[in-house]
Amino acid sequence: MPHISNMLTMRAVTRSLLRIITILLTGACCAQTVARPEWPLLETGLQQKSSGQRLAAVRVLGLIPDDPHAAELAQKALKDPNSSVRAAAATALGKMHASAADASLKQALNDKNLSVVMAAAHALRLLNDPACYDVYYEVFTGERKNDSGMIAQEMKVLHDPKEVAEMGFSEGIGYAPFAGIGWGAFETIMKDRKKGVAAKAALISDLATDPDARTGRLLLTASVNQNWVLRVAALEAIAKRGDPTLLSEIRPRLFDHKPEVRYTAAATVLHLSDVAEAQVGDTKLAQTALPAKAGEEPVTNSVMQTAK
C-alpha cells in the first residue's frame, strides 16, 4: 500500500510540474507576441519626419507576407505625403500579396505621381487584378492624364534612368533586355533614354498577359517601332500572349535588319505555330467525341484519316 501511495504522489507532482511548465511556456510566448520590439521599431520608423526613414521602414514590410498588421501599415503608407514612400508602400503590398489591399491599390491608381501609379499597377498585377492593364495601356499610348496635361508630354519620370530605377523597373517590375540580348541593347537604351525606351519596354512586357484585343494591335504596332529594343520587347510579349491569329503579321519581322529582332521573331513564330497546331488538334479531338446522329456511325479518328 505504501508503494501505491508513493506512486500516486509522484504522478500528482509530475502533473503539477507539467502545468507549471505549460504556464511558463505560454507566458513566454504571449510576452514575445505582445512585447516583440520589431513592430514598434517599424511603426516608429513610419512616423519619422525624415521621408528617407519612412521609405526605409515601409519598404521592408514586403518581407513580411501573410501578416495583417504589415499590410495595414503599408496601406496607411499609401497616403504618405511623400510620393516615394507611397510607391514603396504599393510595392510592399504587391510583394506580400496582400489581396485585402486590392481596393486601396486601385485608389492609388489615381495618384498624381506616375511612379505611385505604376507601383500600384504592378502590385495589382501580382494580385491578378486586370485593373493594371488599363494603366499600362494608357501610359504607353499617352492617353492617361495628370495635372500637367498629357503624360506623353510630361513623362519626366520615364525619361530619367534614376527615376525609372526608383519606380522599381530594376526590381522586376519592368524590362531589362540588356540582361539577355547583349550590350547593344543597353547602349540603345542609354542613347534613347530621353525617349523613355526602358520604361516603354517595361510597359510592353507587362501588357503581354492583357487579354484585351486592342492590346494585341498595340503590340503589333510596337513590333515595327523604329527602336529595335521595343521591337524585341513587343515580339516577346506577343509570344507570351500565345495568340496565333497574330502570326501572319509577325512573319515579316523574320527579315528585320537587326539580328536580335529576327531571332526573337523566329522564336515567336515557332511558338505561335505550335499553339495553332495544338488548337487544331483540340478541335479534331472534340469532333471525334461528338455523339453520332440516329442511324449514323460514330465519327472516329480512323474515319477522319480515311476521309483525308
41-90 pLDDT, tens digit per residue, is 889 899 999 888 888 888 888 888 888 999 999 999 999 999 889 988 99
pLDDT reading at 302 higher than 70? no
- Residue 272: alpha-carbon gap to chain centroid: 23
What pLDDT is stored for residue 294 in this prediction?
52
pLDDT-derived band at 187, boundaries 50, 70, 90 = low
What pLDDT is stored for residue 236 in this prediction?
87
Helix (H) or strand (E) holding 119: helix 114-126
By residue count, the chain amounts to: 308
Nearest to 254 by CA among 275, 240, 241, 273: 273
pLDDT-derived band at 172, boundaries 50, 70, 90 = very low
pLDDT reading at 285 higher than 80? no
Average pLDDT of the chain, as a whole number: 75
Nearest to 67 by CA among 44, 101, 41: 101
pLDDT in tens, 216-231: 999 999 999 998 888 9
- Residue 40: alpha-carbon gap to chain centroid: 30
pLDDT reading at 205 higher than 90? no
Q: Among 9-18, 31-40, 173-182, 294-303, which is the least confidently predicted range? A: 173-182
Where residue 242 falls (left for φ over 0; alpha for ψ -120 to 50; beta otherwise) is: left
pLDDT-derived band at 149, boundaries 50, 70, 90 = very low
pLDDT reading at 193 higher than 80? no
CA atoms of 246 and 248, how far apart (whole Å)? 6
H and E: helices and strands count for the chain: 19, 2
What pLDDT is stored for residue 297 in this prediction?
52
Backbone phi, psi, residue 292, to 5°: -75, 145
Give yes or no for a contact between 182 and 264, defined as CB atoms under 8 angstroms apart: no
- H-assigned helices in 36-77: 38-46, 51-59, 68-77
CA atoms of 107 and 95, how far apart (whole Å)? 18
Q: Among 89-98, 128-137, 200-209, which is the least confidently predicted range? A: 200-209
Q: pLDDT higher for 18 or 257? A: 257
